[in-house]
Amino acid sequence: MSNQTTLTEFLLLGFSDIRELQILHFVVFLVIYLTALMGNVLIITAVPLNTHLQTPMYLFLVNLSILDFGSISVTIPKSMANSLMNTRMIYYPGCVTQVFLFILFAATDLALLTIMAYDRYVAICQPLHYESIMNRRACVQMAASAWITGIVYSALHTGSTFRLPFCQSNIIKQFFCEIPQLLKLTCSDSYLSEVGVIALGVFLALNCFVFIIVSYVQIFKTVRRIPSEEGRHKAFSTCLPHLTVVSLFLFTGIFAYLKPTSSSASGLDLLVGVLYSLVPPVMNPIIYSMRNKEIKAVLKKLIVWRLVTKS
């Protein structure tokens, strides 16, 4: 318990101790971060400025972009700063904040992806009832419920983790504060309560995934009856990348949280962390918006307007 009270910082795992590779890591993460930043900020900016995009799907897209931007901003900047300054340190309050925000954004993201799958199901399979089911009040309530769920689950997760005494070490074998790695540092049997919280989260995540799969199975059945081959191809090309990103996010996250503590090396831990924490925030704007003709048209108008204004 004395170690718990005097613990003021953790040491994160670096990608390399070689200075040149640390600079390379900084540059790569900077490119990833700027790509995610640009894609998500463009969506957040473009949707409210165009009246044609004031629909449930785009309301959810704005929320998803806010979540993705927040999620990647929690992990990447600290890792970049550590590489640039050749340090691995993160203070205890910073680690608590990082865990809380990352779980908040991840849980809310998954809940919102589930809602978006339901929105597409209603739009394609029940088009005559879409306006009555997905009215503005219902959409706001759905989005709010996703955020509230994320906040409650994150508070539960963070509280049950950091009430444990840390006495094994202060070295976290990940590039950000990750709960499975933190649990390895505890010296109390009461960590089983946190394992229960993780199990609950995995159960809810799998239920969300099953709901998304069932929704898209119904969508595929409906799309197959579309007489236009171009219409079928457009629907399939939109759905399949979405399912890929959701699957990547879920299964790498579940693997990170449920794998045995001694079953993988640090390199694999880092790879899994990158896959489920960085890839979805970068890919989601591309999948949901950059492939969308309406969004691209609005972005072109916005860019042209800015150039004309500057001229």
- The pLDDT, as a whole number, for residue 205 is 83
- The pLDDT, as a whole number, for residue 30 is 93
Report residue 1's pLDDT band, with 50, 70 and 90 as the boundaries.
Answer: very low
- The pLDDT, as a whole number, for residue 27 is 93
pLDDT tens for residues 258-304? 666 554 456 777 888 888 888 888 887 777 665 566 666 666 666 66
* Mean local confidence (pLDDT), 93-110: 92
pLDDT tens for residues 226-257? 777 776 776 666 667 667 777 777 777 777 67
pLDDT tens for residues 203-213? 888 888 889 88
Q: What is the pTM of this model?
A: 0.84
Report residue 2's pLDDT band, with 50, 70 and 90 as the boundaries.
Answer: very low
- The pLDDT, as a whole number, for residue 4 is 45
Report residue 163's pLDDT band, with 50, 70 and 90 as the boundaries.
Answer: confident
| Least confident stretch, 24-33, 84-93, 267-276 | 267-276
* Mean local confidence (pLDDT), 75-102: 90
- The pLDDT, as a whole number, for residue 182 is 85
In the predicted structure, residue 53 carries a pLDDT above the cut 90: no
pLDDT tens for residues 125-153? 888 888 888 888 899 999 999 999 999 99
In the predicted structure, residue 191 carries a pLDDT above the cut 70: no
Between 184 and 66, the more confident residue is: 66
Task: Note the maximum CA span of the chain.
Answer: 71
What's the mean pLDDT when you consider all of the chain? 81
* Mean local confidence (pLDDT), 73-98: 90
- The pLDDT, as a whole number, for residue 67 is 92
* Mean local confidence (pLDDT), 196-208: 82
Q: Domains in the chain and their CATH numbers?
A: 2-310 (1.20.1070.10)
* Mean local confidence (pLDDT), 111-133: 87
